[in-house]
Structure formats: C-alpha cells, structure tokens
C-alpha cells in the first residue's frame, strides 16, 4: 500500500461494539487493528483515485446503426 510514503497519524474514536467487531475482524485476518483499518480505508478511498479513461473499449469495430424507437425495435415481437 503506502509503505514508502510519509505517514500521518489520525485518531478515530469507536463505540464499544465497533471496537469489538474491529478486534474480531483483524484477528480473523491475522493483522493488527491499524493494518485492518488501513486496508479497509484504502478499499473505500480507491473510488476517489483518478483512473485514466480508456480511449476505446475496443469492442465496436464498425459504426453503430442509427438509434431507433422502442416501437421499431420490438415491432417483430408483436407478430
């Protein structure tokens, strides 16, 4: 993850039940509570990371036909 970057200390206050569940989850994964929190936070923050947009999906090789209305698309099903 971010082991080579400078680290910041952030304090988080948990209620008793959240602390208990944190202990269980970290123990089950064999990591410290801090490491468990870092991993889960990283997963949550990943959605805010900038990802380059692909130039092309690469699946369309020909031009798409003109758009049609639902009536035109499903006309054959009515017969």
Looking at per-residue confidence, does 46 or 29 come out higher?
29
pLDDT value, residue 46 = 86
- Please report where in the chains the tokens 């080579």 appear, as a residue: 4
- Please report where in the chains the tokens 């064999």 appear, as a residue: 30
68 domain-assigned: no
Let me know: does 31 contact 39? Beta carbons within 8 Å: yes
**54-78 pLDDT, tens digit each:** 666 666 656 666 666 767 766 766 5
Residue 1 banded pLDDT, cuts 50, 70, 90 = low
- Of 34, 40, 45, the C-alpha closest to 11 is 34
> Distances from the Cα of 23 to the Cαs of 13, 15, 28, in angstroms?
14, 12, 9
72 domain-assigned: no
Q: What CATH number has the domain bearing residue 30?
A: 1.10.1220
2 pLDDT higher than 70: no
**15-42 pLDDT, tens digit each:** 999 999 999 999 999 999 999 999 999 9
| Owning domain of residue 40 | 8-51
24 domain-assigned: yes
What does the angle CA 24 – CA 25 – CA 27 come to, to the nearest 5 degrees? Answer: 65
Number of domains in the chain: 1
pTM comes to 0.56
73 domain-assigned: no
């Amino acid at each position: 993850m971010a082991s080579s970057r400078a680290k910041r200390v952030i304090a988080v206050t948990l209620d008793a039940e959240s602390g208990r569940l944190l202990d269980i989850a970290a123990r089950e994964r064999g990591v410290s509570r801090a490491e468990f929190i870092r991993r889960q936070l990283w997963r949550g923050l990943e959605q805010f990371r900038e990802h380059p947009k692909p130039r092309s999906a690469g699946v369309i090789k020909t031009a798409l036909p003109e758009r049609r209305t639902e009536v035109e698309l499903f006309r054959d099903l009515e017969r």
